[in-house]
Amino acid sequence: MKNILNAQKALLLGLLIVTPVLAQSASNRIIKIDGNPAAGSNLRNGPLNFTGGVSATVSTLKIGSALASMTGPEGTPILQAQGKRNATFTGNVNVNRGRLSAKGDKLAYSETTGQGLLTGNPSATFVPEKKDDGDTVNIRAAQMSLDVDTNVSTSTGSVQLVSGNQTGKADKLVFDEDKELAQFTGSPTLTRAAKGNQKELVMSGQEVRALTKTKTLYVTGGVKLVQGNTTTTGNALYYDDKKNVAYVVGNAVSVDSKSKATLRANILEQRTDLVRVREVSSFKIPAEQFKLRGEK
């Protein structure tokens, strides 16, 4: 009887890790959990429980945790549920994908959607490819969703992203790991801390996009740039941290709250190292650089 049970377990585990002949995207969503199901698991219908330190893979994601549980749709044998199963990981959860590492208390993964939802004080770190390729990106939020079909994560709820001397805050953050592009929405602000003789710089609008490698920003929708006594507003904003320059485009107005001096133009250039504003005749924001994957 014991030999039969062991044979059944071996067959089950073999079937669980075989990638079915499916469309590529669906195939990439199949999760593979290492090790034998713990005693008490329902080997026919689930759940399959795993203990004692768990490791799993799905597409390019590598997952580690203290415990895990796999379930399928009610009434469907677990062997026939590939592509429709759910896996829940708890206890010191860590997730790694390329240069991204994330951790939290719980990860709920769905093969149907290809999404893994990380909760319980989640945080993530994205390191630059090379030492001189910018600063490490650190993200905190109420929850983070990792998409296995793309190298994209979506964080929501009191989001904070810190990269060097820049801190972004918003209700929602979409981060594309391949493009190293962050999109902030939901009352977004981005603050560049004071450095040297330069005063703190705060930028806001309806949407903020930041290329973390090049330290450039694109802000749209009722934009505002505040530095010391100077407040500059307009339709759109481009900022280059390395060059210490910002361009406000469309209905641009700059006001010095101390002197009451006001400057109006279609395009204003602000030197953030000098807190000096002047009108310029032309500047085109390189909006193409800030497009998310799939955007036209």
Q: Which of 188-219 are b and which e, b meaning 16 or more Cβ less than 10 Å from the residue's Cβ?
A: bbbbbeeeeebbebebbbebbbbbbbebbbbb
As averages over each run of 10 residues, the pLDDT of the chain (296 residues) reads 44 43 71 94 95 96 98 94 97 97 98 98 95 89 96 97 97 96 98 92 98 96 97 98 97 97 98 95 97 87
Contact 146, 118 (CB under 8 A): yes
Q: How many residues does the chain have?
A: 296
pTM assigned to the model = 0.89
Helix, strand and coil percent figures for the chain, each rounded to 5: 10, 50, 40
